Amino acid sequence: MKFTPESGLRYLITLEIKKHGGSYQHIPDAIPNKNSLIPREEGGRRWNTMIEKKRQCDGLLVMPHNTIFVEFKANYNKLEPHQKQFGELMESIQKNANRMVWCAIRVKYLKKADVFTIENSKGEIYYKADNVNDVLAWLSRPCTDNSLAEGGDGSS
Residue-level pLDDT at 40: 80
* Confidence (pLDDT) at 94: 79
5-140 domain in CATH 3.90.950.10?
A: no
The pLDDT assigned to 85 comes to: 92
Note the pLDDT of residue 53: 65
The one-character DSSP state at 133 is: H
Give the containing element (helix H, strand E) for 84.
helix 81-97
Amino acid at 86: F
Give the pLDDT score at 154.
Answer: 45
Which pLDDT does position 38 carry in this prediction?
74
pLDDT of residue 135: 95
Residue ranges covered by each domain of the chain = 5-140
Q: Which are the contacts of 72, defined by CB distance < 8 A and separation ≥ 6?
A: 6, 7, 9, 10, 13, 58, 104, 105, 106
| pLDDT of res. 19 | 95
Collect the ranges in the chain with pLDDT lower than 70: 1, 31-36, 50-53, 143-156
DSSP for 91-109, please give it. Answer: HHHHHHHTS--EEEEEEEE
